[in-house]
C-alpha cells in the first residue's frame, strides 16, 4: 500500500474487466437524430447512472450506416448490459441479429418500439395518439392536419399517422398532411403560411413531436394566428418546454422518469442474475391538455 501510494499505481481497467467480466459500463443505444425529447431522456439516464457505480457508454444505432458497421462498433465496446432507446429498425433486426452477436449480454429495450423476444419497457404511444385525436375531435375540431418534416419516416409510418388516419376516417373527415422542411420556427413558419393561404385552413395541428409543436406555435403567433382559439396544437413527447412557454402546449407525455428508472431496474436485475426470465412492461403515456387546445 505504501508502494501504491508512492508509485501512483492504478489498476488497469482493461485487465480488471477481462478478469472479472465486469467493465462497469452500460451501453446506451440511440439514434443520432436529435430531438429535445431524446436529449432529455439521455440526460435522465445519465442522471440515474450517475447515482450508481455504473457509467454509460453511448453509441448510435442508425440505419444511415450499414447495420454491420453500427452493430460492430456498438458491440466492440465492453459493456455489461445494453439499453436500446427508441431503436426502431434496430428492434426489428434485433431478433435476427442480436442473438448471434451478443447472446449473453443483458438487454432491455426502452421506448415506443419493442420485440417480444426481449425484455422491454414499452410506451404505448398509439393509445396516446388515439387519446389526442379523440380530444381534438370531441372539442369540435374537424380540419385537423398532421404536421411532420418531409424527410421523416413518420410521414407514412408509425402510430401517430396511423391513429390520425383511422380517427379521421372514422369521423368522416379528410386527411391533411403538412410537410415541413425543417423543425425551426422560421422553417415551419414558411410551410404553415403556405398552407394557411389555401382554404379551408386547418383548425388543429397534430404535430409529430413537441419540437415541431413549439416551432409551430411560435410561427403561428408571428403570423398573427392565435394559438388555442384560432387553431389548436397538440404535440408528442411531453418535454418540459411545452409547459414553460407563452402558450402552454397540449402534448402526449411520455413517462420519461418511470421509463428510464424501470429500464435500468430491469437491466440491473438481469446483470445480477443472467438467468432471470424476460421482463416486459408497457407504460401508458398521458395526454396533458393545456391552453393550446382548450379554446
Partner DNA sequence: TTGTACGCGTTATCAG
Partner DNA sequence: CTGATAACGCGTACAA
What 107-110 contacts at long range (C-beta under 8 Å, 24+ apart), as own/partner pairs, is 107/81, 107/82, 107/267, 107/270, 108/81, 108/82, 108/83, 108/84, 108/263, 108/266, 108/267, 108/270, 108/279, 109/83, 109/84, 109/85, 110/83, 110/84, 110/85, 110/86, 110/259, 110/260, 110/263
From the list 22-30, 163-171, 202-210, 256-264, the region that binds a second copy by CB under 8 A is: 22-30
Report the 10 Å Cβ neighbour count for 260. Answer: 24
Residue 10 makes contact with DNA by CB under 7 A? yes
Q: State yes or no: residue 245 binds a second copy (CB under 8 A).
A: yes
138 contributes a contact to a second copy by CB under 8 A = no
Site for a second copy in 179-218 (CB under 8 A): 184-186, 214-215, 218
Residues 16-35 that bind DNA (CB under 7 A): 16, 18-20
For 121, counting Cβ atoms within 10 Å of its Cβ (0-12 exposed, 13-18 middle, 19+ buried), the class is: buried
Q: Are strands 250-253 and 286-288 parallel, antiparallel or unpaired?
A: antiparallel
* Cβ atoms of 80 and 22 closer than 8 Å: yes
* Contact window for DNA (CB under 7 A) among 12-20, 155-163, 175-183, 225-233: 12-20
Binder of residue 243, out of DNA, a second copy, none (CB less than 5 to 8 A by kind) = a second copy
The residue from 66, 73, 226, 276 that contacts a second copy (CB under 8 A) is 73
Sequence-separated (6 or more) residues with CB below 8 Å from residue 169? 175
**Binding of DNA by 104 (CB under 7 A):** no
CB of 266 to a second copy, least distance (A): 20
Nearer of residues 12 and 139 to a second copy, judged by Cβ: 12
Q: Is 103 a binder of a second copy (CB under 8 A)?
A: yes
Question: What is the distance between the alpha carbons of residues 98 and 107, in angstroms, rounded to a whole number?
Answer: 10
Largest CA distance in the chain: 82
- Number of residues interacting with DNA: please give it, by CB under 7 A: 9
Q: Which residues bind a second copy (CB under 8 A)?
A: 8, 10, 12-18, 21, 23-25, 32, 34, 39-40, 42-43, 46-47, 50, 53, 55-60, 62, 73-79, 99-103, 184-186, 214-215, 218, 221-222, 240-241, 243-246
Q: Which residues bind DNA (CB under 7 A)?
A: 9-12, 15-16, 18-20
Amino acid at each position: 500500500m505504501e508502494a501504491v501510494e508512492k508509485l501512483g499505481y492504478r489498476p488497469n481497467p482493461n485487465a480488471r474487466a477481462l478478469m472479472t467480466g465486469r467493465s462497469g459500463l452500460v451501453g446506451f443505444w440511440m439514434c443520432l437524430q436529435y430531438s429535445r425529447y431524446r436529449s432529455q431522456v439521455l440526460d435522465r439516464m445519465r442522471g440515474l447512472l450517475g447515482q450508481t457505480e455504473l457509467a454509460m457508454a453511448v453509441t448510435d444505432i442508425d440505419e444511415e450506416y450499414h447495420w454491420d458497421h453500427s452493430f460492430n462498433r456498438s458491440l466492440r465496446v465492453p459493456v455489461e448490459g445494453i439499453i436500446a432507446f427508441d431503436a426502431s429498425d434496430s428492434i426489428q433486426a434485433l431478433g435476427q441479429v442480436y442473438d448471434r452477436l451478443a447472446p449473453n449480454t443483458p438487454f432491455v429495450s426502452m421506448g415506443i418500439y419493442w420485440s417480444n423476444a426481449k425484455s422491454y419497457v414499452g410506451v404505448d404511444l398509439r393509445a396516446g395518439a388515439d387519446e389526442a385525436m379523440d380530444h381534438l375531435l370531441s372539442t369540435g375540431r374537424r380540419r385537423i392536419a398532421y404536421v411532420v418534416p418531409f424527410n421523416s419516416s413518420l410521414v407514412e409510418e408509425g402510430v401517430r399517422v396511423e391513429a390520425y388516419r383511422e380517427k379521421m376516417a372514422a369521423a368522416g373527415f379528410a386527411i391533411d398532411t403538412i410537410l415541413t422542411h425543417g423543425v425551426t420556427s422560421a422553417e415551419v413558419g414558411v410551410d404553415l403560411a403556405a398552407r394557411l393561404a389555401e382554404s379551408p385552413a386547418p383548425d388543429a395541428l397534430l404535430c409529430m413531436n413537441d419540437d415541431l409543436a413549439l416551432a409551430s406555435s411560435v410561427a403561428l403567433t408571428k403570423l398573427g394566428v392565435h394559438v388555442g382559439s384560432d387553431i389548436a396544437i397538440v404535440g408528442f413527447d411531453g418535454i418540459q418546454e411545452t409547459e414553460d412557454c407563452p402558450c402552454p402546449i397540449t402534448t402526449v407525455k411520455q413517462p420519461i422518469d418511470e421509463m428510464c428508472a424501470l429500464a435500468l431496474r430491469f437491466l440491473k436485475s438481469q446483470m445480477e442474475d443472467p438467468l432471470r426470465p424476460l421482463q416486459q412492461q408497457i407504460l401508458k403515456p398521458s395526454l396533458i391538455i393545456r391552453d393550446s387546445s382548450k379554446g
